[in-house]
């Protein structure tokens, strides 16, 4: 496998979820490259609420203000790859609740994510997109490891974690409507890049991760081989 070795997960445990998206009837969030997802974990009964912004430009995507008024929220920056290896960069923030969230309109959403006030979203109700809920099964498959050294002789973080997500329609559970193969690997460090703007004492900075080149190259080749 391109000089890599696959290590299957010792416990292929299935996670069962109920997943849906929220938007206005005229898709105002999507028109501004925002996606609002609600995912219920059937085992823990927790609800994971995620707001994601996707853009083809890495720096523009990283510059969006998705700070949340929720105390325990997590911000993530990632690259979404669409076949045939077209990159879209995403910044997302998520938080968890023990009951299904009542985010019924854009004003409520803006109280949770104040940075949306600058996005010209207007007002409007929020409802399930296409009235669709997916029955989702997620499985952690295992890891792909490479034995690579960089030019300085230092070991790279050489593991890729792989997952498989299956989306089923509640009306037809025999065949998935979406099959998603995902993988991720760790950044070697984080650094602050981009233009700083002085606004009194406040400075705006963009957080961008760096990744081991050998791992990025091997993953690119692996992904392309899957497309064939």
pLDDT confidence bin for 15, thresholds 50/70/90: very high
C-alpha distances in angstroms, 167 versus 79, 84, 149?
21, 21, 38
Long-range contacts of range 174-177, CB-CB < 8 Å, 24 or more positions apart?
177/134
Q: In this structure, are 31 and 95 located in the same domain?
A: yes
DSSP for residue 69: S
Mean pLDDT of 127-155: 79
pLDDT confidence bin for 83, thresholds 50/70/90: low
Instruction: Look at 224 and 108; give whichever has higher pLDDT.
Output: 108
Q: Tell whether the model's pLDDT for residue 149 goes beyond 60.
A: no
Number of domains in the chain: 2
Q: Where a domain ends, among 130, 163, 178? A: 130
Instruction: Look at 61 and 193; give whichever has higher pLDDT.
Output: 61
Mean pLDDT of 67-87: 80
pLDDT confidence bin for 26, thresholds 50/70/90: very high
Q: Tell whether the model's pLDDT for residue 154 goes beyond 70.
A: no
pTM of the entire predicted model? 0.77
Q: In this structure, are 152 and 107 located in the same domain?
A: no
Instruction: Look at 199 and 136; give whichever has higher pLDDT.
Output: 136
The reply to whether 110 falls in a domain is yes
Q: In this structure, are 118 and 179 located in the same domain?
A: no
What does the pLDDT read at residue 220?
79
Q: Residue 114's domain spans which residues?
A: 19-130
The reply to whether 13 falls in a domain is no
Q: In this structure, are 95 and 182 located in the same domain?
A: no
Range picked from 33-37, 74-78, 81-85 for highest mean pLDDT: 33-37
The reply to whether 14 falls in a domain is no
The reply to whether 202 falls in a domain is yes
The reply to whether 104 falls in a domain is yes
Query: For 155-212, how does the pLDDT look when each residue is reduced to its tens digit (9 = 90+)?
Result: 445 788 899 999 999 887 789 999 888 888 777 655 444 444 444 444 445 455 677 7
The reply to whether 53 falls in a domain is yes
Q: What is the DSSP string of 141-203?
A: EEEEEE--B-TTSPBP--EEEEEEEEEEBTTB-SS-SEEEEEEE---SEEEEES---EETTEE
Q: In this structure, are 123 and 214 located in the same domain?
A: no
Q: In this structure, are 29 and 125 located in the same domain?
A: yes
Mean pLDDT of 126-144: 94
Share of the chain above pLDDT 70, in %: 83
Quick check: 40 and 47 in contact, CB under 8 A?
A: yes
Q: In this structure, are 86 and 59 located in the same domain?
A: yes
Quick check: 79 and 55 in contact, CB under 8 A?
A: no
Q: In this structure, are 99 and 142 located in the same domain?
A: no
Q: Where a domain ends, among 130, 164, 196? A: 130
Largest CA distance in the chain: 59
pLDDT confidence bin for 153, thresholds 50/70/90: very low
Q: In this structure, are 117 and 80 located in the same domain?
A: yes
What does the pLDDT read at residue 192?
45
The reply to whether 141 falls in a domain is yes
**Cα(107)–Cα(117) distance, integer angstroms:** 9
Q: Tell whether the model's pLDDT for residue 146 goes beyond 70.
A: yes
Q: In this structure, are 207 and 149 located in the same domain?
A: yes
Q: Where a domain ends, among 97, 130, 163? A: 130
Q: In this structure, are 154 and 56 located in the same domain?
A: no
């Amino acid at each position: 496998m391109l000089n890599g070795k696959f290590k299957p997960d010792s416990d292929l445990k299935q996670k069962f979820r109920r997943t849906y998206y929220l938007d206005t009837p005229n898709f105002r969030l999507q028109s501004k490259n925002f996606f609002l997802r609600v995912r219920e974990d059937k085992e823990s009964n927790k609800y994971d609420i995620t707001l994601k912004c996707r853009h083809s430009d890495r720096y523009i995507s990283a510059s969006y203000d998705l700070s949340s008024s929720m105390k325990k929220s997590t911000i993530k920056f990632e690259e979404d790859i669409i076949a045939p290896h077209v990159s879209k960069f995403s910044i997302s923030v998520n938080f968890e609740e023990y009951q299904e969230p009542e985010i019924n309109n854009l004003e409520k959403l803006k109280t949770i994510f104040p940075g949306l006030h600058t996005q010209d979203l207007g007002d409007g109700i929020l409802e399930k997109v296409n009235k669709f809920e997916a029955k989702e099964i997620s499985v952690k498959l295992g890891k792909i490891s490479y034995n690579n050294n960089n030019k300085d002789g230092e070991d790279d973080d050489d593991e890729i974690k792989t997952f498989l997500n299956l989306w089923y329609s509640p009306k037809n559970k025999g065949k998935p409507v979406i099959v998603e193969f995902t993988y991720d690997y760790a950044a070697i460090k984080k650094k602050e890049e981009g233009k700083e703007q002085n606004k009194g004492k406040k400075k705006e900075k963009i957080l961008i991760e760096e990744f081991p080149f050998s791992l990025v190259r091997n993953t690119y080749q692996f992904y392309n081989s899957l497309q064939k």
